[in-house]
Structures are given as structure tokens and as C-alpha cells.
Amino acid sequence: MGTALRIPPAPRPELYRASRLDLSTAGLYVAAVAFFTAAGDVLAPLLLQISPNPAVASYSVNLIFYGTIGILALAAVRRVAGRDLRVLATRPWFTLLMVPLAVVVMMILTAILVALSGPVQTSANQAGLQALMQQVPVWLMVPLLVVVGPFVEEYIFRHLLIGKLSRRVNIWLCCALSVVLFAALHIVGQEDLSLPVLMPYLAMGAVLVFVYVWTGKNVMFSYFVHAAKNLLAVIFIYAIPPEVLEQLQQMQG
């Protein structure tokens, strides 16, 4: 990825001032994650009142959570998102080529880091998603995992933690914080913490941070990369029969 194709940052510093809506959205996100992590076992029986099927109950709660945060995030970042889309529209071939390339780089980096860290292990987050996708149809999972989820996470971990926080804190510290907290979110509450479990999320976070900063803090570009990676994972899981997927994981372990 050479610097010749780099998208220059737009000179709109006022867009990176933290607003009350930013603080409210981030506060609600952190509070909800902490609440579900701390009270997950207690909430499990209550969730079954939504539906006797645990998968449907889990999907419903995640959709409500990400949907609510997503609406607030869209309201908070709409001006930046609109500007970033206009910038990308002036370089359509850049977007069409660099998004899949970034996903390939992410996959290669993940494979290298996982290979160096030890035997492959599936995180509780990944195992939970795979179990959920075996019971929820793809047309319901795509809006959650490909559209809303990545948008919320790019808003929190890239736009807020780097784009806005870097006005007051060194940007490289913000980048490191973004990578670590992004990975931590995906393994929080997991009992067996290890490098092989952590590495895929560190690699993904690192690539998303890189493309965000490299494109001049273009949150929509990092969102497209994140969404493309999740879409690829969804296609992969739905395309492979559950029994074959389980055998592949056992072979990796």
C-alpha cells in the first residue's frame, strides 16, 4: 500500500470535537457491555422469556443492543460519514481495490500471528457466533454482523478512540489503545485467555487502525473493510456444513 494512493484528510477539525451525543453513545455502549459481561449468567433465564430458543433470544438482545447504539452512532457521526463517502466517491477504484486487499492482508497477518503464538484456538465469541448462525438464517445475521455491528465498532474504536481522542492524546497511543480495547471486547468474559485466542482480534484491530489512519481518518473506509471481513466470515460459516466445520476446528486444535 503505497503513499501515492493515500486519501488526504479533509481539513474539518470541528468534526472531531467530542459532542454530548458522542459521550452518551460511548457511555451507553460501555455500560451495556459491562452489564452483560457481569450479569450474563443471571440474565440467561430472563432471556429465555423472550423466546424459548436460546439462539433467538441471544439474537434479539444483540439486535436491540447494536440497533440502539447504531442509531445513536449514525446520528453522532453522520457529518463525518457523509464527508468520508464523498471523498471515497472521488476515488471509486481505490475503494474497490483496496478494501479486498486490506481484507487479504488482515487474513495473512492473522495466520502469521496465530501460527507464531501456538496451536489454533477458537474464542468463546467465535464459538458463540458459529452456534448462533447454525440456528439463525443468513438473511437475519447479515444486517447484524455485516451492517450494524461493524459500523458501531468503527465509530467507537476508530472514530472516537483515534479520530476524536487524538485531539488531546498522542495519536500513536490512541492507535494502540484502539487495537487493545477492540481485541479485549471480543474476548471479554472468556475464562481461557491465551495468545492464540487474542491474536486474530489483535491482527484485525491493527489492520483496521492502519487503514483508518492511512486514509486520513476515513471512518467509512475502515467500516467497509470491517464489513467485508465479516461478510466473508458469514459466507464461510454458512457455506460449510456444521459437521465439516467442527472437524476442521478439531484438526486445527
Query: Which one is predicted more confidently, 106 or 134?
Result: 106
pLDDT tens column, 8-46 = 554 577 789 999 999 999 999 999 988 887 766 666 666
Name the residue with higher pLDDT: 178 or 123.
178
Residue 4 has what pLDDT?
A: 43
Q: Which domain holds residue 120?
A: 15-252
* 178 Cβ contact list (under 8 Å, min separation 6): 157, 158, 161, 162, 205, 209
Spatial separation of the C-alpha atoms in residues 253 and 248, rounded to whole Å:
9
pLDDT over threshold 60, residue 241: yes
What is residue 120's predicted lDDT score, i.e. its pLDDT?
61
Q: Is residue 139 part of a domain?
A: yes
Residue 199 lies in a domain: yes
Q: Is 10 inside a domain boundary?
A: no
Residue 33 placed within a domain:
yes
Long-range pairs for 244-250: beta carbons < 8 A, 24 or more residues apart = 245/130, 249/120, 249/122
CA torsion sign for 149, 151, 154, 157 is: negative
The pLDDT confidence band at residue 228, using thresholds 50, 70 and 90, is very high
Give the predicted TM-score (pTM) of the model: 0.88
Measured distance CA(67)–CA(86) in Å, rounded: 25
The answer to whether position 5 is within a domain reads no
Find out whether 80 and 15 touch, Cβ atoms under 8 Å: yes
Structural domain contains residue 89: yes
Whether the per-residue pLDDT at 253 is higher than 60: the answer is no
Cβ(57)–Cβ(51) under 8 Å? yes
Instruction: Dump pLDDT digits (tens) for 125-162.
Output: 676 777 777 788 888 899 999 999 999 999 999 999 99
Q: What is the pLDDT of residue 15?
A: 84
Name the maximum alpha-carbon separation found in the chain: 56
Percent of the chain residues topping a pLDDT of 70: 78
Whether the pLDDT of residue 231 is over 70: the answer is yes
Domain assignment of residue 153, yes or no? yes
Instruction: Output the pLDDT for position 14.
Output: 78
- Residue 99's contacts (CB-CB under 8 Å, 6 or more residues apart) are 221, 224, 225, 228
Q: How many domains is the chain built from?
A: 1
Residue 77 has pLDDT above 60, yes or no: yes
95 assigned to some structural domain: yes
